Amino acid sequence: MVLEYDRNKELQAFDETKAGVKGLLDNGVAKVPKIFVRPAEELAKELNSRRAHIQVPVIDLGGIERLDRRMEIVNEIKAAAAKWGFFQVVEHGIPIRVLDGMIDGVRMFHEQDVEAKKEFYTRDNKKKVRFVSNFDLFNSRTANWRDTLSMSVSAYKSLDSNHFPAICSCGSLDVNVIF
């Protein structure tokens, strides 16, 4: 007897755990669930299309305080975002200790017990802090083997550290941000 595979049911069951991919690992998953497995022909097609050399766009923020340079940077960001959807930023002025602290905070968040992370698991894009596995879980053909912690600080003036996971707090760092 062959059981019919119900992808939507498997996606829903995975999402309802609110534990993400790390939760699967913590629970000792022995085999990658089918929702994460890409068809061989899709992988082969992607591999062939990636044979060309790809260079990630790099945006240099040096000189952003000058109006003419600021406009150049804005145009570079627009072009990179439109063509690639992502880019690397250099000369941003953020101290390495701050960057290291952010990486450590995210790592510590993901290493927490699943119950502590569940408080932040949501698909509501309006939340300032969201822990989610695959933002496009129900729309993508194959789920990605990843979890994401997203913390929005776009409303910088109304930033309240009480909204963020305590484990991610970096205390009071003196960081100058240019808008």
For residue 26, give its domain range: 1-52+117-179
Structural domain count of the chain: 1
Which residues, in sequence order, are CB contacts of 143 under 8 Å at separation 6+? 11, 14, 35, 36, 133, 134, 137
> Residue 127 corresponds to which tokens in the numbers above?
């939340």
Indicate whether 37 belongs to any domain.
Answer: yes
Q: Summarize the confidence of residues 38-53 as an average pLDDT.
A: 75
Query: Is residue 59 in a domain?
Result: no
Establish if 61 belongs to a structural domain: no
Specify which of 33-47, 75-89, 163-177 reaches the highest per-range mean pLDDT: 75-89
Mapping DSSP to helix (H, G, I), strand (E, B) and coil, where does residue 23 land?
helix
Give one DSSP letter per residue of 51-120, joined into a string: TS-----EEE-TTTTSHHHHHHHHHHHHHHHHHTS--EEES----HHHHHHHHHHHHHHHHS-HHHHHTT
Over residues 12-38, the pLDDT tens digits come to 999 999 999 999 999 999 999 999 998
**69-113 pLDDT tens trace:** 999 999 999 999 999 888 999 999 999 998 898 889 889 999 999
The predicted pLDDT at position 176 comes to 40
Structure tokens, 11: 């996606």
Q: Which of 175, 152, 154 is nearest to 163 (CA)?
A: 152
Q: Which amino acid is at 58?
A: V
Q: Do the domain assignments include residue 112?
A: no
Tell whether the model's pLDDT for residue 173 goes beyond 50: no
Residue 92: inside a domain: no
Q: What global pTM score does this model have?
A: 0.71
Give domain status of residue 71, yes or no. no
Helix (H) or strand (E) holding 45: helix 40-49
Q: What is the C-alpha to C-alpha distance for residues 151 and 135, in angstroms, rounded to an integer?
A: 14
Rounded CA gap, 116 and 78, in Å? 37
Asked, for residue 60, whether it belongs to a domain, the answer is: no
Return the pLDDT at 172. Answer: 44
98 part of a folded domain: no
